[in-house]
């Protein structure tokens, strides 16, 4: 844990991200951009019904088109070994037997794949594939179906519901949120290249190369070592890249069929059905408090949609178990199977949905009690122990987040009564809400290659989906070793590099920082080993007693017993020095609970005549341990808040219950926040080290920036208008029609 000693203060503030130059010049290669000899193009044909069976597929017209190489359907595709038996498919963790069944589970399900010399040829030919179906009754209407699904206990009950049935203040309300879609700017894409029968290269958009490698290994029955996955640049994910979707096996099958590299990039409309979404949800929250506002109990019930072929469950009620002290607590949940594509984790999965209901309900209660919503929360926060496990929080400064945020937005200037502040035709309101996310950490490996000139490359298989992982690794390596930033290169996103888990759930930096610290120690020890052959003082050296710099290795302080890297390399006749190390969570996980927290404050204006909501200010104060790179971390948080603005005011994927399709399945029909929809987001950090979580003391920030954001905005809208909006998104029509 040498990191905390801060031996090497940063020499200079790094100018920007390690990959900045490649991103601003467009020279970084994303999945579909690798230039491969003899590559051809694949275009997907999706089903036009939501449930039923394929009766016939006619691909003759498509095959007649000049440039078309082949058209794959469930009748002629190469066999994926795991789809030959159900147990194997299950083990592979891939639920949609794509092109291996005539059954249709959702509209848009791939039914054919056209492979052609050019994208234009493939696109045109795809329009000529005709499919006839036997149509079954599809279940796509969540509102209609969820009432028929029974709800069941989830997690341990605390105390009893009877204990607070006569509480002086009880609030019970239902909250609903429509489907939301990740829509990373880079569409999911795969280039598959076979080398013989048993070796495969995949250029793929995902959040974890090792996950793709493992899944494809199990599906195609090829050893993982024979599958190389390249994902050096990843154009966003937000969870959609945590799973392997049908585009990957489809491209692999196609490449096998035509014996050439095949490129398959989903279209934007296909991004709405084939790579997951945050499922539509219904929640009911009953919350009770005594006359002073002490929380007595909570009942949190949640149901959300899932697909008929892959049951996805997310912990919507978990957030109610974590943030506040509820002596009595009951959580219940259910999933509702629908004929839609499979939903999946989307930024702040579960908690983001749950926090909207919990933090809205608390806000409603605060106005019942006539107590400041900020104070009500502060009085009930559980910052000492995790109320669910009883373990002490390693660190939890959510209370400080709240007070700091309140200062930043000048909370005390706000009129405590709702619907009182007007500016012309606009009504002004302030809202607050909290977010929390468990601070996970997994095991990961990293290696360092040192060159004769003392420059190093730190590398791992982990991807950087835009979070700044590479830059964080460079900062940590610099602080650990003392070598200047410009002599530290970072290599990421290749399955041949030391193994690392997928980047998701705000665990990336927390996980990899441990591996980087460990491999830095390993480098020091390796160098000390060589140095000891020239100077005996290095014989019993420990990582803490080694000081590296651009000039060489020193003992205990810079320049002391200095041996230049050049001397070590030439004396031992070395070309490079290579070390690898792994690091993961340990027994600290038994002792402590870990979390990141955030407080959101929002100032909105609501137009009295049009119902338009404009976010004037949005403040987010985050407690996520030590902040390794403030610029990138603040960017993460402000970006998540922008996501929260979209979630609250405009994002909804409505399902057409007649045809079973999504309405508005493109970026003109599905509105996430554009530049003008968001103010400059104001971000600050508590920046106190978590001494137990990992060697860097840093925790993830990717999720907490969105968890709670929606409730802060909805609460501000209530404060502005006196209207409580419990159905997201809060579009102008809902604002106008709601009663105060």
Partner 1 sequence: MEKQKYSRRFFLSTSAMAATLAFIPVGVKAFYNNVKKLVIPLKEKMAIKLSINKAKYNLTVDTRTTLLDLVREQLDLTGTKKGCDHGQCGACTVHVNGQRVLSCLTLAATVQGKEVTTIEGLSQGSELHPMQQAFIECDGFQCGYCTPGQIMSAVGCVNEGHTHSVEEIKEFMSGNLCRCGAYNGIVQSIQKVAK
Please report whether residue 236 would count as binding partner 1 according to CB under 8 A.
Answer: yes
Q: Toward partner 1, which CB reaches closer, 493 or 585? A: 493
State the sign of the Cα–Cα–Cα–Cα dihedral 725, 731, 733, 735: positive
305, 295 in Cβ contact below 8 A? no
Binding residue for partner 1 (CB under 8 A) from 360, 638, 650, 694?
Answer: 638
Phi/psi at 591 (nearest 5 deg)?
-85, -35
Binding residue for partner 1 (CB under 8 A) from 627, 678, 698, 712?
Answer: 678
Window 294 to 353, contacts with partner 1 (CB under 8 A): none
Please report whether residue 401 would count as binding partner 1 according to CB under 8 A.
Answer: no
Compute the distance between CA of residue 184 and CA of residue 207 in angstroms, rounded to an integer.
12
Q: Among the residues of 182-327, which ranges form H helices?
A: 209-220, 247-258, 268-271, 318-322
Please report whether residue 84 would count as binding partner 1 according to CB under 8 A.
Answer: no
State the sign of the Cα–Cα–Cα–Cα dihedral 641, 647, 650, 651: positive
Please report whether residue 641 would count as binding partner 1 according to CB under 8 A.
Answer: yes
Phi/psi at 191 (nearest 5 deg)?
-115, 120
Please report whether residue 36 would count as binding partner 1 according to CB under 8 A.
Answer: no
Please report whether residue 468 would count as binding partner 1 according to CB under 8 A.
Answer: yes
Binding residue for partner 1 (CB under 8 A) from 27, 311, 496, 576?
Answer: 27
Phi/psi at 688 (nearest 5 deg)?
-110, 130
Give residue for tokens 């003759």. Answer: 60
| Residue 327 parent element (H or E) | none
Binding residue for partner 1 (CB under 8 A) from 163, 258, 654, 667?
Answer: 667
676, 607 in Cβ contact below 8 A? no
Burial of 5: CB neighbours in 10 Å, binned 0-12, 13-18, 19+: exposed
Q: Is 566 left (phi over 0), alpha (psi -120 to 50) or beta?
A: alpha
Binding segment (CB under 8 A) for partner 1, from list 182-190, 332-340, 408-416, 528-536: 182-190
Binding segment (CB under 8 A) for partner 1, from list 231-239, 487-495, 567-575, 716-724: 231-239
- The radius of gyration of the chain's CA atoms, rounded to the nearest angstrom, is 27
Binding segment (CB under 8 A) for partner 1, from list 335-343, 408-416, 526-534, 661-669: 661-669
Binding residue for partner 1 (CB under 8 A) from 636, 650, 653, 721?
Answer: 636
Please report whether residue 186 would count as binding partner 1 according to CB under 8 A.
Answer: yes
Please report whether residue 676 would count as binding partner 1 according to CB under 8 A.
Answer: yes
Compute the distance between CA of residue 626 and CA of residue 1 in angstroms, rounded to an integer.
14
Compute the distance between CA of residue 599 and CA of residue 402 in angstroms, rounded to an integer.
6
Burial of 646: CB neighbours in 10 Å, binned 0-12, 13-18, 19+: buried
Size of the site for partner 1 (CB under 8 A): 78
Binding residue for partner 1 (CB under 8 A) from 440, 508, 643, 660?
Answer: 643
Phi/psi at 123 (nearest 5 deg)?
-60, -45
Please report whether residue 632 would count as binding partner 1 according to CB under 8 A.
Answer: yes
b (16+ CB within 10 A) / e for 683-705 = bbbbbebbebbbbbbbbbbbbbb
Binding residue for partner 1 (CB under 8 A) from 6, 12, 35, 609?
Answer: 35
Q: Toward partner 1, which CB reaches closer, 159 or 236? A: 236
Q: Toward partner 1, which CB reaches closer, 80 or 615? A: 615
Q: Toward partner 1, which CB reaches closer, 24 or 417? A: 24
Q: In 2-76, where do the E strands start and end?
A: 40-46, 52-58, 68-72
Three-state secondary-structure class, residue 667: coil
Please report whether residue 53 would count as binding partner 1 according to CB under 8 A.
Answer: no
Binding residue for partner 1 (CB under 8 A) from 22, 194, 309, 426?
Answer: 22
Give residue for tokens 């710099």. Answer: 549
Please report whether residue 467 would count as binding partner 1 according to CB under 8 A.
Answer: yes
The token duo for 514 is 């441990």
Q: Count CA atoms within 13 Å of residue 721 on its CB side.
A: 31
Please report whether residue 470 would count as binding partner 1 according to CB under 8 A.
Answer: no
Catalytic residue ranges: 703
Q: Toward partner 1, which CB reaches closer, 266 or 581? A: 266
Binding segment (CB under 8 A) for partner 1, from list 211-219, 451-459, 559-567, 671-679: 671-679
Please report whether residue 492 would count as binding partner 1 according to CB under 8 A.
Answer: no
Q: Toward partner 1, which CB reaches closer, 183 or 281? A: 183
| Residue 548 parent element (H or E) | strand 546-548
Compute the distance between CA of residue 134 and CA of residue 360 in angstroms, rounded to an integer.
45
Window 587 to 616, contacts with partner 1 (CB under 8 A): none
In the chain, count of helices (H) and strands (E)? 19, 30
The token duo for 285 is 């929250």
Site string for partner 1, 256-285 (x = CB under 8 A): ---------x-xx-----------------
The token duo for 288 is 């009770």
Cα 707–386–359 angle (5° rounding)? 30
Please report whether residue 640 would count as binding partner 1 according to CB under 8 A.
Answer: yes
Give residue for tokens 């149901």. Answer: 303
Binding residue for partner 1 (CB under 8 A) from 2, 46, 52, 184?
Answer: 184
Compute the distance between CA of residue 44 and CA of residue 254 in angstroms, rounded to an integer.
11
Binding residue for partner 1 (CB under 8 A) from 680, 737, 739, 740?
Answer: 680
Binding residue for partner 1 (CB under 8 A) from 378, 408, 558, 631?
Answer: 631
Binding residue for partner 1 (CB under 8 A) from 1, 4, 10, 16?
Answer: 16
CB of 207 to partner 1, least distance (A): 11
Please report whether residue 290 would count as binding partner 1 according to CB under 8 A.
Answer: no
Q: How far apart are the first and last CA of the chain?
A: 56
Please report whether residue 18 would count as binding partner 1 according to CB under 8 A.
Answer: no
Please report whether residue 65 would count as binding partner 1 according to CB under 8 A.
Answer: yes
558, 550 in Cβ contact below 8 A? no
Q: At what angle do helices 398-409 and 373-380 cross, to 10 degrees?
A: 170
Please report whether residue 33 would count as binding partner 1 according to CB under 8 A.
Answer: yes
Please report whether residue 224 would count as binding partner 1 according to CB under 8 A.
Answer: no
Please report whether residue 562 would count as binding partner 1 according to CB under 8 A.
Answer: no
Can you spell out the DSSP letters for 485-505?
A: GGGEEEE-SBTTSSP---S-T
Q: Toward partner 1, which CB reaches closer, 180 or 513? A: 180
Cα-based distances in Å from 267 to 44, 188, 220, 411, 546: 9, 8, 25, 45, 53
Please report whether residue 21 would count as binding partner 1 according to CB under 8 A.
Answer: yes
Compute the distance between CA of residue 335 and CA of residue 282 in angstroms, rounded to an integer.
10
Q: Toward partner 1, which CB reaches closer, 60 or 172? A: 60
Please report whether residue 226 would count as binding partner 1 according to CB under 8 A.
Answer: no
Report which DSSP code applies to 322.
Answer: H
Binding residue for partner 1 (CB under 8 A) from 12, 26, 87, 424?
Answer: 26
CB of 110 to partner 1, least distance (A): 18
Binding residue for partner 1 (CB under 8 A) from 681, 693, 712, 720?
Answer: 681
Please report whether residue 102 would count as binding partner 1 according to CB under 8 A.
Answer: no
Binding residue for partner 1 (CB under 8 A) from 2, 3, 8, 17?
Answer: 17
How many residues are present in the chain?
A: 740
Q: Toward partner 1, which CB reaches closer, 186 or 314? A: 186
Site string for partner 1, 136-175 (x = CB under 8 A): ----------------------------------------
Give residue for tokens 């959101």. Answer: 600
Binding residue for partner 1 (CB under 8 A) from 642, 647, 661, 730?
Answer: 642
Compute the distance between CA of residue 15 and CA of residue 369 in angstroms, rounded to an integer.
51
Window 113 to 132, contacts with partner 1 (CB under 8 A): 118-121, 123-124, 127-128, 130-132
CB of 315 to partner 1, least distance (A): 24
Q: Toward partner 1, which CB reaches closer, 82 or 632? A: 632
Binding residue for partner 1 (CB under 8 A) from 58, 226, 325, 380?
Answer: 58
């Amino acid at each position: 844990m040498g990191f905390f000693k801060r031996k090497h203060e940063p020499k200079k503030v790094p100018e920007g991200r390690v990959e900045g130059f490649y991103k601003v010049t467009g020279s970084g290669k994303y999945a579909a951009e690798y230039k491969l000899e003899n590559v051809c193009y694949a275009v997907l044909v999706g089903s036009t019904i939501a449930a039923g069976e394929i009766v016939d597929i006619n691909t003759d017209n498509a095959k007649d088109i000049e440039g078309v190489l082949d058209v794959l359907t469930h009748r002629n595709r190469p066999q994926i070994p795991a789809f030959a038996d159900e147990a194997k498919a299950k083990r592979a963790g891939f639920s949609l037997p794509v092109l291996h069944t005539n059954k249709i589970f959702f509209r848009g399900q791939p039914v054919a794949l056209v492979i052609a010399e050019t994208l234009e040829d493939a696109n045109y030919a795809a329009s000529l594939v005709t499919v006839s179906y036997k149509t079954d009754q599809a279940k796509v209407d969540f509102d209609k179906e969820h009432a028929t699904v029974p709800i069941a206990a989830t997690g341990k009950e605390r105390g009893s519901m009877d204990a607070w049935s006569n509480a002086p203040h009880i609030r019970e309300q239902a909250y609903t949120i429509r489907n939301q879609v990740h829509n990373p700017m880079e569409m999911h894409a795969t280039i598959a290249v076979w080398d013989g029968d048993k070796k495969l290269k995949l250029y793929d958009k995902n959040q974890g190369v090792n996950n793709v490698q493992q899944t494809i290994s199990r599906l195609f029955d090829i050893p993982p070592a024979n599958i190389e996955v390249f994902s050096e640049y990843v154009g966003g994910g937000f969870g959609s890249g945590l799973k392997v979707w049908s585009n990957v096996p489809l491209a692999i099958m196609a490449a096998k069929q035509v014996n050439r590299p095949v490129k398959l990039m989903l279209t934007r409309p296909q991004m709405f059905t084939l790579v997951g979404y945050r499922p539509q949800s219904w929640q009911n929250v009953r919350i009770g408090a005594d006359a002073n506002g002490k929380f007595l109990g909570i009942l949190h019930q949640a149901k959300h949609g899932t697909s008929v072929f892959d049951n996805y469950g997310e912990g919507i009620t978990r957030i109610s178990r974590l943030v506040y002290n509820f002596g009595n607590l009951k959580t219940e949940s259910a999933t509702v199977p629908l004929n839609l594509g499979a939903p999946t984790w989307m930024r702040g999965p579960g908690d983001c949905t749950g926090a909207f209901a919990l933090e809205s309900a608390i806000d409603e209660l605060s106005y019942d009690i006539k107590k400041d919503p900020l104070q009500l929360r502060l009085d009930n926060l559980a910052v000492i122990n995790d109320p669910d496990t009883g373990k002490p929080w390693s660190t939890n400064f959510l209370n400080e987040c709240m007070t700091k945020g309140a200062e930043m937005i000048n909370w005390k200037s706000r009129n405590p009564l709702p619907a009182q502040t007007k500016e012309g035709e606009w009504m002004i309101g302030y809202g607050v809400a909290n977010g929390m996310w468990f601070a996970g950490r997994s095991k990961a490996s990293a290696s360092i290659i040192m060159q004769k000139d003392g420059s190093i490359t730190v590398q791992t298989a982990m991807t950087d989906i835009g979070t700044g992982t590479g830059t964080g690794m460079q900062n940590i390596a610099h602080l650990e070793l003392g070598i200047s930033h410009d002599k530290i290169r970072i290599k990421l996103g290749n399955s041949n590099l030391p193994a690392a888990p997928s980047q998701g759930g705000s665990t990336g930096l927390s996980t990899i920082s441990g591996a980087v610290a460990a491999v830095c120690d390993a480098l020091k020890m390796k160098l000390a080993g060589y140095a000891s052959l020239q100077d005996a003082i290095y014989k019993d050296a420990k990582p803490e007693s080694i000081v590296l710099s651009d000039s060489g290795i020193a003992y205990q302080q810079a320049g002391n017993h200095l041996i230049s890297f050049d001397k070590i390399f030439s004396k031992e006749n070395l070309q490079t020095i290579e070390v690898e190390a792994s690091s993961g969570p340990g027994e600290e996980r038994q002792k402590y609970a870990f979390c990141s927290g955030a407080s959101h404050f929002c100032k909105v204006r609501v137009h009295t005549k049009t119902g338009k909501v404009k976010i004037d200010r949005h403040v987010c104060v985050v407690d996520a341990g030590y902040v390794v790179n403030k610029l990138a971390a603040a960017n993460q948080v402000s970006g998540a808040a922008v996501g929260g603005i979209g979630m609250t005011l405009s994002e909804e994927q409505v399902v057409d219950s007649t045809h079973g399709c999504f309405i508005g399945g493109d970026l003109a029909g599905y509105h996430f926040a554009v530049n003008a929809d968001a103010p400059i987001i104001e971000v600050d950090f508590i920046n106190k080290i978590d001494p137990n979580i990992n060697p860097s003391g840093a925790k993830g920030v990717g999720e907490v920036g969105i968890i709670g954001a929606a409730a802060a905005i909805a609460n501000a809208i209530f404060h502005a208008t006196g209207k409580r909006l419990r159905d997201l998104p809060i579009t102008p029509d809902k604002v106008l029609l709601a009663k105060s």
